[in-house]
Amino acid sequence: MRKLIYLLPLVLLILVSAFRNSPFTIDHSPFTEDTLHYADEKHFKNIQQLTFGGDNAEAYFSFDGKWIVFQRTNPKEGLNCDQIFIGRVPKNGEKFTYKMISSGKGRTTCGSITKDGKYVIYASTHLGADTCPPVPDRKKYGNKYIWPLYDSYDIFMADMNGKIVKQLTKSKGYDAEATLSPDGKKMIYTSDKDGDIDLYIMDLKTGKEKRFTNTLGYDGGAWFSPDGKKIIWRASRPTTAEEVKEYKDLLAENLVAPTHMEVYIANVDGTNVKQVTNFGQANWAPAYFHDSKRIIFASNHEYKRGFPFNLYTINEDGSNLQKISRDKGFDAFPMFSPDGKKIIFCSNRNNGGTHDTNIFIADWVE
């Protein structure tokens, strides 16, 4: 939700090729530098790996900080495309256990646990088909990373046993990437129902909603600030005639190329829109600190080749950029616990030279 969304396949394909020519030698594989905690990651303490194997992403805390919701793909387990899981936050290094909440039908993405802890909101394509939707043929688009906007995606609410109790969106087209306001009453999500890829805020009780963005380009991965006063999201803004044409041509085929994105913020009523980053390439998966002032996000802006992706922090005015994580492959989807004491993120680290992306949790050190 939030979510990147899925630069993961692109990153992993690139990394395999690149690391074959890497100077690193490691314990488990000649391809990657395997470690749980890099020496320069001074803001992480007591880091713990929660998942082992497959692609695990978009892991987020419940409002009370006791649960984690995430999506997982692992063909070895019969999970051929993403499904939604939940698990309790482990205490004192205990093993992380989890269960699937989604039905196993179609593809799912972007889970959020409701304020009362009784339900999970997520997007799913299962009404379109029980099977995984097809992946675009990127050769048709010059091998660019292309992300499908499946028009069968809608947003659902399920109880903690996986029973769907409500369908929240029903518009024709892509509806996904939902997150909740701090009071639990509103949902912000991404949709292309009005001809562009924009953000919408819905009142969960009444179903009434308003369009939050109205500028050409992809707007997605939005979060409310912890104080509920602001929205933070990622956006592409095609400007040249060539960029606009490419964007519109892809959108006409229910596709988007999310490789050029920057972080934006605005007041919750849509006023005072500000572009926070201006680094080029992909700056995404932004979230606020507990103080609703500082921002953490993922980016590959330091590397023209497109990787690694690492985590960075920055002030709202674009000042004080700091590099937080150091994996040589992929660190993304950062999120703080409600009390700001822990951080959860997804990474290629410590994967034994495989393509696996796993979930990690750590104490946050200022």
> Is the per-residue pLDDT at 28 higher than 60?
no
pLDDT tens by residue, 50-96 = 999 999 999 999 999 999 999 999 999 999 999 999 999 999 889 99
Residue 9 has pLDDT above 50, yes or no: no
Q: Which two tokens stand for residue 75?
A: 């063909």
What's the pLDDT at 221? 98
The answer to whether residue 185 scores a pLDDT higher than 80 is yes
Percent of the chain with pLDDT over 70: 91
Query: If you average pLDDT over every residue of the chain, what do you get?
Result: 91
* Residue 251, pLDDT above cutoff 90: yes
Per residue in 98-154, pLDDT (tens digit) is 999 999 999 999 999 999 999 999 999 999 999 999 999 999 998 888 999 999 999
Q: Which two tokens stand for residue 219?
A: 């707007």
pLDDT of residue 341: 97
Q: Could you give the CA distance from residue 111 to residue 350 in angstroms, rounded to a whole number?
A: 25
| Token pair for 104 | 């196993």
Do 231 and 212 form a contact (C-beta atoms < 8 A)? Answer: yes
Residue 139 CB partners (closer than 8 Å, separation 6+): none
* Predicted local confidence at residue 34, as pLDDT: 79
Contact assessment for residue 83 and residue 71, using Cβ atoms and an 8 Å cutoff? yes
Give, as one character, the DSSP assignment of residue 94.
P
Give the residue-averaged pLDDT of 338-354.
96
Q: What is the CA radius of gyration of the chain?
A: 19
pTM over 0.75: yes
Query: Are residues 106 and 130 in contact, defined by beta-carbon separation less than 8 angstroms?
Result: yes
Q: What are the structural domains, with CATH classification, of the chain?
A: 8-364 (2.120.10.30)
**How much of the chain, in percent, has pLDDT values that exceed 90?**
87
How many residues in the chain?
366
d(CA 241, CA 87): 47
Mean pLDDT of the 347-365 span: 96
Q: Name the residue with higher pLDDT: 341 or 92.
A: 341
Q: How far apart are CA 327 and CA 258, in angstroms?
A: 22
Q: What is the largest CA-CA distance in the chain?
A: 58
Strands 310-314 and 322-323, by their bridges, are: antiparallel
Q: Residue 14: is its pLDDT beyond 90?
A: no
**pLDDT-based confidence at residue 260 (cuts at 50, 70, 90):** very high
Top-confidence residue, 362 or 5: 362
- For 154-189, letters b (16+ CB in 10 Å) and e give bbbbbeeeeebeeebbeeebbbbbbbbbbeeebbbb
Q: Which residue shows structure tokens 């006409």? A: 252
| Cα torsion angle, 52, 297, 85, 308, sign | negative
